[in-house]
Amino acid sequence: MTDVRTAVREATAVLAAAGVPSPAVDAAELAAHLLGVRRGELALPSVAERPVPDAYAGLVEQRAARVPLQHLTGVAWFRHLELHVGPGVFVPRPETEVVAQVAVDAARVLPSPVVVDLGTGSGAIALSVLDEVPHARVHAVEADPLAHAWAARNAAGTALDLRLGDFADAFADLDGTVDVVVSNPPYIPPDAVPVDPEVRDHDPELALYGGGEDGLAALRVVARTAQRLLVPGGLFVAEHADTQGESAVAALRGAGGWVRVAAHRDLADRPRFVTARRAGAHSEEDSP
């Protein structure tokens, strides 16, 4: 019977041949998932020399067919959280962690922050804010019933106010009371189908395609909702594609009602998100 060390080595070759971007990591993660250990523990002789579970070959075959790793393990890591994910919900990406960081930092310095996440998906951003700023009141909305169900599972036992609905008219009861609105809206233009099969074939279309010729129709809707929700000087943070840095800023400036509109880059130095403050009393003096 094949031991874990050998099986992972062979699986790495299979995944590499299939074009999986991180074959060694994925092969190891699948083995660790089945064995109930952390990936780093696979190097221990007591683990590496064990027989590989029978289910391993099937998981490797599915990953080679470009089923997302997170769908096979059932979890995705986001900042300090382990989130339940699977078919029907957008798998959170590492680049979104910098967007969440801005919301966390803005909320952390306020005595009683109110934060809203528009289009929460798995709940990644909202739950990160709640986890890292426990004194915050955090609200989130998701329109897709399947994604909402995943978010509800992740939010179980927390104080997150999670609602099912369209972010265009969400939270009328919070108008003018919110300190931070954060969103990772859909933003892919209709003619820019993702190359990666994991995204193209498995992430829900509602979470991908932003609408309009430039893909920013959803961002414009989110921005209008943010204007309604925020207190004067309140912070708006929204993710966009790495090709939309200038157009996202232009969209907010063209809408009016915003000050301190600024573009920001992610850790890979790619345009990633825009921030703005709602115009109003003292808003121009607020920090970005």
Is 111 known to sit in a ligand binding site?
no
Which tokens belong to 2?
Answer: 């094949």
84: left (phi over 0), alpha (psi -120 to 50) or beta: beta
- Cα 285 to Cα 274: distance, rounded to the nearest angstrom: 18
Number of separate helices (H) and strands (E) present in the chain: 11, 9
| 3-state secondary structure at position 159 | coil
Is 122 known to sit in a ligand binding site?
yes
- Cα 288 to Cα 285: distance, rounded to the nearest angstrom: 9
68: left (phi over 0), alpha (psi -120 to 50) or beta: beta
Is 120 known to sit in a ligand binding site?
yes
Q: Which of 185, 189, 271, 273 is catalytic?
A: 185
Q: What is the dihedral of CA 58, 64, 65, 70, to 10 degrees?
A: 80
Q: Which of 68, 78, 90, 236 is catalytic?
A: 90
Is 56 known to sit in a ligand binding site?
no
Is 121 known to sit in a ligand binding site?
yes
Active site residue 184: yes
Maximal CA-CA distance, the chain: 71
Q: Which of 78, 113, 171, 184 is catalytic?
A: 184
Q: What angle do CA 21, 239, 276 make, to 5 degrees?
A: 155
Active site residue 171: no
Is 185 known to sit in a ligand binding site?
yes
Contacts of residue 182, Cβ cutoff 8 Å, sequence gap at least 6: 99, 100, 102, 103, 115, 116, 117, 118, 125, 129, 236, 237, 238
| 3-state secondary structure at position 221 | helix
Is 186 known to sit in a ligand binding site?
yes
Is 61 known to sit in a ligand binding site?
no
Query: What sign for the dihedral angle of Cα 189, 191, 197, 202?
Result: positive
Is 209 known to sit in a ligand binding site?
no
Is 123 known to sit in a ligand binding site?
yes
Q: Which residues are catalytic?
A: 90, 184-185
Binding site residue list for S-adenosyl-L-methionine: 119-123, 142, 167, 184
Binding site residue list: 119-123, 142, 167, 184-187
Binding site residue list for substrate: 184-187
